[in-house]
């Protein structure tokens, strides 16, 4: 075995062991790395301004300052709405009035007894069934299921918060040491300098364009539904947040939020409210924002990044869908990033083949 082959296989083996050792941190690290690439242009512009500062201490520590500011902004944008949603949901569970169960029990019995369409036999059977549903033994079994569900929910919340915390930590470290990391990665690639720069530029452009456009759409969808819910008896902030999150889900999108709200109003007999919510949500959120605003944001982002990167809408759609299916919520950035990496590496391989 030649010296080069031995070095390659040793590196591959050690890389595999390294990946296995840090497997638990792999997903947060990948997400953080992609977010760093997506916000690279902002970090670069900020560092250029810091480099021109008259204070030597500021210019010497521009990477640290830039990483700290971007991490602070990112952390606030992530943890404030997530924390608010968790506190609200847990508070709603803790403040639930068990007297409502008794009220529902009495109401059902009253409706059954007063129903003239039912004969005495059916009334007796329905009353027995209602009493069984609200019996102490049945409620105790349901309480066990509820507590088990709450326990699973809290475990999931704790796991998600730990993952978010790791993403924020890695985001800070990767931004701080991005220059050293970039130099190390570039030295490992068996490509020419021009090809490395071209591939890196295409990757950064692809991830930045997709991520910043999706974030813009999320913010617009959240604000639009928040503004609508201010006129109804709902928690506008919470529903706006859920609307923003659901906007990245392919096919269904914000319909996961506004359709149940419209159905709830319809069931309550508020037909006009249901029509207003449905019409506004479809026209403003599903039509205007998803079509016209998306194209406008895409143009503005490409102009901001000075990029000519374009991606097929269907390919982007399936990339997001596959990413969410494979990696959960963060798949909305991992999926398109993997697709961009594949396309850019395929172009680099094609160009190398023609030389």
Residues 173 and 254 in one domain: no
Structure tokens at 127: 């009353």
Is residue 285 in some structural domain? yes
- The dihedral over CA atoms of 45, 48, 54, 59, expressed in degrees to the nearest 10, equals 110
The number of domains in the chain is: 2
**Domain final residue, candidates 155, 188, 221:** 188
pTM above 0.75, yes or no: no
pLDDT of residue 335: 82
Structure tokens at 41: 């242009």
Long-range CB contacts for residues 16-25, cutoff 8 Å, separation at least 24: 25/166, 25/170
**Domain final residue, candidates 146, 172, 188:** 188
Residues 203 and 288 in one domain: yes
Backbone angles phi, psi at 131, to 5 degrees: -65, -35
Residues 31 and 139 in one domain: yes
Could you tell me the residue range of the domain that residue 201 belongs to?
Answer: 190-355
Is residue 158 in some structural domain? yes
Residues 164 and 197 in one domain: no
The tens digit of pLDDT for each residue in 129-180 reads 777 766 666 666 655 665 566 566 567 667 777 888 888 999 999 888 888 8
Residues 182 and 195 in one domain: no
Is residue 86 in some structural domain? yes
**Domain final residue, candidates 162, 188, 214:** 188
In the predicted model, what is the mean pLDDT of the chain?
A: 78
pLDDT of residue 72: 92
d(CA 126, CA 136): 18
Cβ atoms 226, 237 nearer than 8 A: yes
pLDDT of residue 328: 77
CA 164 from chain centre, in angstroms, equals 11
Confidence of residue 224 (pLDDT cuts 50, 70, 90): very high
């Amino acid at each position: 075995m030649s010296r080069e082959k031995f070095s390659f296989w040793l590196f591959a083996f050690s890389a595999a062991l390294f990946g296995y050792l840090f497997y638990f941190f792999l997903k947060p690290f990948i997400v953080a790395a992609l977010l760093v690439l997506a916000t690279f242009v902002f970090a670069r512009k900020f560092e250029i301004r810091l480099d021109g500062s008259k204070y030597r201490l500021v210019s010497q520590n521009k990477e640290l300052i830039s990483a700290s500011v971007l991490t602070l902004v990112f952390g606030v944008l992530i943890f404030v709405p997530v924390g608010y949603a968790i506190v609200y949901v847990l508070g709603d569970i803790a403040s639930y009035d068990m007297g409502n169960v008794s009220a529902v029990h009495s109401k059902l019995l009253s409706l059954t007894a007063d129903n003239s369409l039912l004969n005495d036999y059916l009334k007796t059977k329905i009353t027995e069934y209602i009493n069984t549903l609200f019996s102490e033994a049945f409620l105790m079994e349901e309480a066990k299921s509820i507590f088990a569900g709450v326990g699973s929910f809290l475990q999931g919340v704790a796991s998600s918060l730990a993952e978010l915390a790791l993403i924020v930590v890695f985001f800070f470290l990767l931004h701080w040491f991005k220059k050293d990391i970039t130099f190390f990665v570039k030295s490992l690639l068996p490509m020419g300098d021009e090809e490395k720069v071209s591939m890196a530029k295409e990757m950064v452009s692809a991830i930045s364009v997709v991520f910043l456009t999706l974030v813009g759409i999320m913010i617009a969808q959240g604000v639009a539904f928040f503004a609508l819910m201010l006129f109804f008896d709902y928690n506008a902030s919470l529903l706006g947040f859920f609307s923003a999150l659901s906007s990245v889900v392919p096919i269904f999108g914000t319909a996961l939020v506004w359709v149940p709200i419209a159905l709830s109003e319809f069931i309550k007999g508020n037909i006009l409210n249901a029509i207003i919510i449905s019409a506004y949500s479809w026209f403003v959120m599903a039509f205007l924002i998803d079509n016209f605003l998306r194209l406008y944001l895409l143009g503005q982002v490409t102009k901001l990044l000075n990029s000519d990167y374009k991606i097929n809408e269907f390919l982007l759609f399936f990339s997001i869908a596959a990413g969410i299916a494979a990696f959960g919520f963060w798949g909305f950035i991992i999926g398109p990033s993997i697709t961009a990496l594949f396309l850019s590496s395929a172009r680099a391989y094609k160009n190398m083949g023609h030389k």
